Amino acid sequence: MTHNPASAIQDLLVFGEFGDVNPSVTDSVTYTFLSPKTMEEVFEHEIEGCFLYSRHWNPINRYLSQALAGMEGTEAAQVTASGMSAITSTMMQLAGAGDEVVSARTIYGGTFALLKNFLPRFGVTTRFVDITDLKAIEKAITPKTKVLYAETVSNPLLEMADIPALAQLAHAHGIKLVIDNTFVPMLITPAAHGADVVVYSLTKFANGTSDAVAGCICGSKELIGKLTDVNSGACMLMGPVLDSTRAASILKNLHSLHVRMRQHSKNAMALAQWLSAKGLKVHYPGLESHPQHALFGKLMRPDMGFGGMMTLDAKDAATASKLMAAMQKDLVGYLAVSLGYFKTLFSAPGSSTSSEIPKDTQAAMGLTSGLIRFSVGLDDDIERTIGRVETSLKSVGLLR
């Protein structure tokens, strides 16, 4: 693959006001103009190096956006205050009253709720499909469909979207393919496989320190221009602007993302292999038992591994709860939602991050009540961690 996301970020040369190695953090919401005429012009069209008002653009948000566009290989990008605002703004820009969306059914619970409960209030309805069933997707597309939506690797079941096939299908019907790549930054670059828009929760792996909520939309210059249009842009008018101090810290963390993703992948692979060898039911794209293992192999950067997310079926909700409490006590990691942190995090999605999804839909998706989602951390000694997991599993009777 010619596009190297880490190198694209590394090659962005941005200095601070005094030649500082990090760009200066802009601590202002508004910007002065030497002439009223230039101000009028900036309202009409963008002028390189000119800023108007921070909700529209500010320098550090622009640098972070450029880094993310570089990472994804898209023409442009726009950072936002959260992953949800990136998704909401994208959907509201691309679809309006009377339009339809076709979406994978196994997606983050918040996105599911947005599409199922919230957007219908504005006349945008969604048909949910099994994203691995291309025939069902094609059947769900109607002349009103504007967007095909999926996650590269779905939350929480780690189902893989066949992005090239979805792009072909979407483009044959003149609709946009929007992919949430939150789980696998650097590992897979959806735009290189045909996605039109790539959205992120930067809150997770991209930032990696669980200290900031942020999001991003990567796409064409035309789309980003529309999103930031002062008269009709979803980002400009709904206003999910990322705080500039947070943008500055995320930009710094982005430079170590490739190193972190390799370590997340290495540790998750070791833990998944060990659990699987013990006869436990594990979902991890790096295992040959994963239904889309070969597809992941086809789309990934070969040197980055299969990512830090895995799930373990702990049989039932009660055992899952006991196991998570034991793992927290045994210092495996934290019982907490979210992902992409340097420590291991685990939670039961059926009663937490996917609780917005009705129980019958959860059952149809294969989301069982005993399912535990792991975001495997950056542990230096994963064998030590595996020893601790073994202790926890034995204490709840899942291992002898």
Closest to ligand PLP by CB, 160 vs 326, is 160
Residue 13 neighbours by CB under 8 Å, 6+ apart: none
> CA–CA separation, 203 vs 327, rounded Å?
24
Q: Give yes or no for residue 181 binding ligand PLP (CB under 6 A).
A: no
| Contact residue for ligand PLP among 82, 132, 189, 362 (CB under 6 A) | 82
Q: Are 95 and 125 in contact (CB under 8 A)?
A: no
Pattern 84-103, binding to ligand PLP, x per CB under 6 A? x-------------------
Tokens representing 193 are 């496989």
- Rounded to 10°, the helix 317-329/382-395 angle is 130
> CA–CA separation, 358 vs 356, rounded Å?
6
Report which residue's Cβ sits closest to ligand PLP. Answer: 83
Q: Give yes or no for residue 205 binding ligand PLP (CB under 6 A).
A: no
Q: Give yes or no for residue 203 binding ligand PLP (CB under 6 A).
A: yes
CA angle, 24 as apex, 19 and 30 as ends, to 5°?
135
CB of 83 to ligand PLP, least distance (A): 2
The DSSP line for 179-205 is EE-TT-TTT--GGGGT-SEEEEETTTT
Number of residues that bind ligand PLP (CB under 6 A): 15
Q: Give the range of 82-90, 186-194, 254-262, 293-301 binding ligand PLP by CB under 6 A.
A: 82-90
Largest CA distance in the chain: 77
Pairing of strands 215-219, 76-80: antiparallel
CA torsion angle for 287, 106, 360, 340 (degrees, to 10)? 70
| Contact residue for ligand PLP among 213, 223, 310, 378 (CB under 6 A) | 213
> CA–CA separation, 155 vs 371, rounded Å?
12
Q: Give yes or no for residue 152 binding ligand PLP (CB under 6 A).
A: no
Q: Give the range of 89-97, 106-114, 266-274, 370-378 binding ligand PLP by CB under 6 A.
A: 106-114
CB of 184 to ligand PLP, least distance (A): 10
Q: Where are the alpha helices (DSSP H) in the chain?
A: 5-10, 36-44, 59-72, 83-94, 109-113, 134-140, 163-172, 221-227, 234-238, 244-254, 257-277, 293-299, 317-329, 359-365, 382-395
Pattern 339-378, binding to ligand PLP, x per CB under 6 A? --------------x-------------------------
Closest to ligand PLP by CB, 216 vs 223, is 216
Q: Give yes or no for residue 155 binding ligand PLP (CB under 6 A).
A: yes
Q: Which of residues 273-302 bind ligand PLP (CB under 6 A)?
A: none
Closest to ligand PLP by CB, 111 vs 145, is 111
Closest to ligand PLP by CB, 57 vs 149, is 149
Residue type, 239: G
| Contact residue for ligand PLP among 51, 108, 306, 374 (CB under 6 A) | 108
Closest to ligand PLP by CB, 151 vs 196, is 151
- Rounded to 10°, the helix 244-254/59-72 angle is 30
CB of 345 to ligand PLP, least distance (A): 11
Q: Give yes or no for residue 110 binding ligand PLP (CB under 6 A).
A: yes
Which residues contact ligand PLP by CB under 6 A? 82-84, 108, 110-111, 151, 155, 180, 182, 201, 203, 213, 215, 353
